[in-house]
Amino acid sequence: MVYLTRKAEFSAAHYYHNPEFTPAENQRVFGKCNNPNGHGHNYTLEVTVKGAVDPKSGFVVDLKQLKDVMSREVLDVLDHRFLNKEVPEFFTKIPTTENLAIVIWQRLAPKLNAAQLHRVRVYETPELFVDFYGEA
Amino acid sequence: MKAHLTRRYMFSASHRLHSDEMSEEENRSIYGKCNNPYGHGHNYTIEVTVSGPVDGQTGMVCNLVDLDGLVHSHVIERYDQQNLNLLPEFASEVPTTENLCISIYEIVKRGLSKAHLDRIRIEETMMNSFEYLGEGGR
């Protein structure tokens, strides 16, 4: 079993707000991330797939295919977008880095045919990242 | 849905690796230049990894404001710009980064209410790092 990780970057705006909370609760829980005008990050995405090394090609996965799937399913959807307003999953879900990792997993997993998705890591800043392994 | 969240922090401290249970010669042989009696310092980078279900109401595994508050008040305040050898936890333990990992793990674990502490990882320099997952390391 070999693990392969591909990185990509995207930039997006978001803010944290739960319509079920009062304004005071939103402010208390989310602090300055609650500003409705939004703020942005340069996100770094790491997608790790695993599989046996194909004896003929020496590959775990066709990198071109992985890159295409990541571009189509993730980067085209998230890059230079206001997540709360333009990405359907975040009309109802708060676009925290936790939920971003889960949404990216859900977008990628059904589209990867040869390799198995192992981990989605999303860096919101160099100091903060979230890992999702598809666990319930 | 369970997610794992990692936050990085930094502090600077000095230490000297020396065990009173060994002779001067043994100390020098085992710890090398880290045994210099005047001590030396590092810029430590700490990674705190917590995990748990993503809260349906907040979308969070752990509120970062709470985690930052805990780590700043109980870890950074305690260790930043200090001589580790003078702290009570290192009165009888050598302040190696292995032991520092265990001490920080115990501090953070005590302060966390909801999220589960997965791991403390410390980079002592760019070339070496240490991890403690809480399996009874000492």
For B26, the token pair is: 């043994």
- Which of residues 34 through 73 in chain A touch B, CB cutoff 8 A? none
Q: What is the pLDDT of residue A130?
A: 98
Average pLDDT over residues B82-110: 95
Mean pLDDT for the stretch of residues A53-73 = 88
Binary contact (A129, B59; C-beta < 8 A) = no
- Calculate Rg over the CA atoms of chain A: 17
- What is the rounded CA–CA span in Å between residue B80 and residue B88? 15
In the three-class reduction of DSSP (H, G, I as helix; E, B as strand; rest coil), residue B126 is classed as coil
Per-residue confidence (pLDDT) for residue B127, from 0 to 100 = 85
Burial bucket for residue B8 (CB in 10 Å: 0-12, 13-18, 19+): middle
> Looking at the complex, does the CB of residue A97 fall below 8 Å from at least one CB of chain B?
yes
Compute the mean pLDDT over every residue in chain A, rounded to the nearest whole number: 94
Decide if B7 and A94 are in contact by the 8 Å CB cutoff.
no
Residue pLDDT, tens place only, A85-114:
999 999 999 999 999 999 999 999 999 987
Measured from the Cβ of residue B110, the count of other Cβ atoms closer than 10 Å reads 10
In 3-state terms chain B splits into helix, strand, coil percentages (rounded to 5) of 35, 30, 35
* Token code pair at residue B81: 């710009």
For residue B138, pLDDT beyond 80: no
Minimal CA–CA distance to B57: which of A26, A107, A120?
Answer: A26
Which residues does B contribute to its contact with A (CB < 8 Å)?
1-9, 49, 54, 57-61, 63-65
Residue found under tokens 């009888």: B92
Going by pLDDT thresholds of 50, 70 and 90, the confidence category of residue A127 is very high
CB contact under 8 A, B5 and A18: no
State the DSSP H helix or E strand holding residue A53, giving kind and residue range, or none if neither: none
pLDDT of residue B87: 97
The answer, yes or no, to whether residue B136 has pLDDT greater than 70, is no
Tell me the C-alpha distance between A38 and B48, whole Å: 27
A18 touches chain B (CB under 8 A): yes
Pick from B49, B61, B64, B76 the residue to mutate for testing the A interface (most A CBs within 10 Å).
Answer: B64
ipTM over 0.85 threshold? no
Closest CA to B32 of B15, B43, B18, B44: B18
pLDDT value for A62: 84
Predicted pLDDT at A57: 76
The predicted pLDDT at position B52 comes to 96
